[in-house]
């Protein structure tokens, strides 16, 4: 009898966590696609403000945000391939953009007791990873010079990486601290934050 009573809550907990991952993924993907419709290249271009990245603040509350955000990012990036016609080049964003979001969210979760520092995780991860494939992606969508300059992308990888490092880092920092930090502060005053913090599987 005791075995059954232990197994049931465990199964319920797993189901709740799977549902939570799915909801976070759906919200991230939907927000990203809405931003693409209204912000255009500012959501996906060389200088970008992906407002959905503010949801990385959820990793301050629950470890389930890490797979949820990664899944949502992958879904959004696959959808962007269809919408923008970037073809196989878009797979770079699916793989490495998703990796950047996952690493950033994981760092946020690990440093969650210091929110202002923790939100640097997505900033650093995106600033370091995204510029590594950005030149190829930009050429695939019709950019042939480093934005705001006359420097050809071809043969100027270090300069393009430096541009991407600064541009991506600034864009991500704006999103995380102008949107993500206030989002965390607002959520921390709700019962949602308390319920997530009380999950035994997520203490650490």
State pLDDT tens for residues 19-37.
Answer: 999 999 999 999 998 888 7
Q: What's the pLDDT score for residue 204?
A: 45
45 band by pLDDT with thresholds 50, 70 and 90: low
What's the rounded mean pLDDT across residues 106-117? Answer: 96
Closest listed residue to residue 61, CA positions, set 15, 120, 119:
119
Contact 197, 59 (CB under 8 A): no
Mean pLDDT over the full length of the chain = 84
Choice between 140 and 95, residue whose per-residue pLDDT is larger: 95
- Provide the token pair at 169: 């880092």
Cβ atoms of residues 59 and 66 within 8 Å: yes
Tokens representing 137 are 């992606």
Of 131, 143, 137, whose CA–CA distance to 169 is shortest? 131
CA distance 131 to 119: 19
- Whether the per-residue pLDDT at 200 is higher than 50: the answer is no
Cβ distance 98 to 74 under 8 Å? Answer: yes
Nearest-angstrom CA–CA distance, 172 and 158? 21
pLDDT at residue 180 is higher than 50: yes
Residue found under tokens 């965390």: 184
- 151 phi, psi to nearest 5 deg: -80, 120
Of residues 132 and 193, which shows the higher confidence score? 132
Residue 5 parent element (H or E): helix 2-39
How high is the pLDDT of residue 3?
A: 52
d(CA 33, CA 172): 17
Model confidence at 107, pLDDT cuts 50, 70, 90, reads: very high
Query: Can you tell me the mean pLDDT for 169-196?
Result: 90
Comparing 70 with 192, the larger pLDDT belongs to: 70
Is residue 202 pLDDT above 50, yes or no? no
């Amino acid at each position: 009898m005791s075995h059954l009573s232990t197994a049931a809550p465990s199964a319920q907990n797993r189901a709740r966590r799977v549902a939570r991952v799915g909801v976070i993924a759906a919200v991230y993907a939907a927000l990203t696609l809405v931003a693409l419709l209204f912000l255009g290249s500012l959501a996906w271009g060389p200088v970008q403000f992906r407002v959905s990245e503010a949801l990385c603040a959820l990793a301050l509350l629950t470890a389930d945000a890490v797979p949820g955000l990664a899944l949502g990012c992958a879904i959004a990036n696959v959808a962007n391939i269809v919408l923008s016609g970037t073809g196989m080049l878009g797979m770079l964003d699916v793989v490495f953009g998703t990796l950047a979001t996952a690493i950033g969210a994981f760092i946020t979760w690990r440093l969650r007791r210091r929110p202002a520092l923790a939100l640097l995780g997505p900033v650093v991860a995106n600033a370091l990873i995204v510029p590594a494939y950005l030149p190829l992606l930009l050429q695939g969508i019709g950019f042939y010079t480093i934005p705001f300059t006359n420097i050809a992308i071809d043969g100027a990888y270090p300069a393009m990486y430096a541009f991407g490092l600064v541009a991506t880092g600034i864009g991500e920092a704006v999103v995380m601290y102008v949107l993500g930090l206030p989002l965390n502060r607002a959520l921390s005053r709700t019962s949602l934050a308390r319920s997530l913090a009380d999950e035994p599987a997520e203490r650490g």
